[in-house]
Amino acid sequence: MSKRANGEGSIYHYKPRNCYCGELYIGVDTNGKKKIKKFYGKTKKEVKEKMETYKLLNPINKAAINEYTVATWFNYWLWNIKKREIKPKTFERYECIYRNYIKGSEIANIPLYKFKLNNLQAYYNRLSDNGKSPSIIKTINEKLKSSMIDAEKNGYIEKNYCQLVNLPKEKIKEKKIEVFTIEQQEKFLEIIKGHEFEILFLLALGTGLRRGELLALRWSDIDFENKTINVDSNIQQAYIFEDEETKRLEKIEQEPKTINSFRTVPIPSKVLDKLQEHKQKQEQYKLAFQERYIDNDFVICDKYGKALDVKRPTRMFYSIQKKMGIPEDEKIKFHGLRKTYATRLFEKEVPPKTVQMLLGHSEISITLDIYTQVMENKKIEAIEKIDDIF
């Protein structure tokens, strides 16, 4: 069946009234929602005549399309198209961009068919002049460009100017190496001995799993015989949007975003021993709390079996670094344990491609970024060794 053109409408049998109903798209409201006009009749012919009469008196097609502004289109696209494709955490980021940089902005009320390159360029220049960073402007453009791709497909715009606009260049900053040195790592391992969540930190440092992957880890994912972990899920905290006014914060367990994140990771023998000790401790909690214990098979949980709050590992990690005497401005994020794992592998001359597979990076470039930082230190060491010759 060929696709109906804009403004052609559709006719179907309407059971509640035992008649025929025709629906005609006549534009969008101020919130970017489709406006549909309905026509009823005893026969298809009667309905079609009513629709044709309406169209003669109220020209649609181009006029209806012209009702979309940049903001109403982005809003419609976000809720009716993009929301079906992306995960809640990603939707939250898109919604944030809409709320802060599209809705109510200087480009918001420009009709789509009048939206040109100069409008977009002027807006980005203004944001830059007002102190918005190049990375923020780049993010706005990425999201807006994605919406305009669908607008172009639908014939609402002739060209996607987001692909032609000049974006401000990001200043090259010296990257902070967010990893522990070997000395810091040894001190860290000493301090976490006997910590309630020692196993969480050992797994992060010994397997390179992401925070969400660690929190979603179940005993059924661990193969003690082959000393491996099967990674196939993660836990995130995100807002679930019912509509534009209603949202609730929820803990969500979901599959990884990319195919490379599904992986099997070896467990170092010492970490495996600690895992077995941790399992025995959990069994004791089950016996002690009985029906109060919620058995979801989680490896990382509180003493009642409940999954940890997503932000708790980071808070505990910062507290441990304080005990280590690391200054506030030199503290590394929880993700730094994952980078530390990669760094130790590179120091042992494990090939980057192998490290990529172990970390579950979607692109080798992400892995090589860490590798480059490690090699920078190696170059300095090499020069010092040459110095000894003289």
68-82, 109-123, 143-157, 236-250: range with lowest mean pLDDT: 236-250
pTM (2 decimals)? 0.69
- 173 pLDDT band, cuts 50/70/90, is low
Please list, residue by residue across 259-282, b when 16 or more beta carbons sit within 10 angstroms of its beta carbon and e when fewer do. Answer: eebebebebeeebbebbeebeeeb
Q: Is 231 exposed, middle or buried (0-12, 13-18, 19+ CB in 10 A)?
A: buried
Mean pLDDT, rounded, for 56-67: 55
Closest listed residue to residue 224, CA positions, set 280, 262, 177, 302: 280
pLDDT digits (tens, 9 = 90+) for 186-230: 999 999 999 999 999 999 999 999 999 999 999 999 999 999 999
Which domains are delineated in the chain? 10-65 (no CATH), 70-163 (1.10.150.130), 182-386 (1.10.443.10)
Q: Which amino acid is at 192?
A: I
3-class DSSP state of 35: strand
Residue 29 pLDDT greater than 70, yes or no = no
Among the residues of the chain, which ranges form H helices? 44-57, 62-65, 70-80, 88-97, 117-129, 134-153, 182-191, 198-207, 211-215, 269-289, 312-323, 335-347, 352-359, 364-389
3-class DSSP state of 390: coil
Residues 87/62, Cβ–Cβ less than 8 Å: no
Would you state the torsion angle of the CA atoms of residues 178, 181, 186, 190, taken in this order, to the nearest 10 degrees?
Answer: -40
| C-alpha to C-alpha distance for 19 and 7, rounded to whole angstroms | 22
| C-alpha to C-alpha distance for 26 and 355, rounded to whole angstroms | 55
Residues 275/267, Cβ–Cβ less than 8 Å: yes
Vertex 178: Cα angle to 174 and 184 (nearest 5):
130
Q: Is 71 exposed, middle or buried (0-12, 13-18, 19+ CB in 10 A)?
A: buried
3-class DSSP state of 222: strand
Given this model, what pLDDT does residue 285 score? 93
116-120, 232-236, 314-318, 378-382: range with lowest mean pLDDT: 378-382
Residue 74 pLDDT greater than 90, yes or no = yes
Mean pLDDT, rounded, for 244-260: 81
pLDDT digits (tens, 9 = 90+) for 352-371: 999 999 999 988 888 888 87
Q: Is 387 exposed, middle or buried (0-12, 13-18, 19+ CB in 10 A)?
A: exposed
DSSP output for 310-357? TTHHHHHHHHHHHHTT--GGGPPPTHHHHHHHHHHHHHTT--HHHHHH
Residue 179 backbone phi and psi in degrees, to 5: -140, 160
Given this model, what pLDDT does residue 245 score? 72
Contacts of 157 (CB under 8 A, 6+ apart): 112, 113, 115, 148, 151
DSSP output for 64-91? HHTT-BHHHHHHHHHHHTGGGTS-HHHH
- Tell me which DSSP letter residue 296 carries: -
Residues 75/103, Cβ–Cβ less than 8 Å: yes
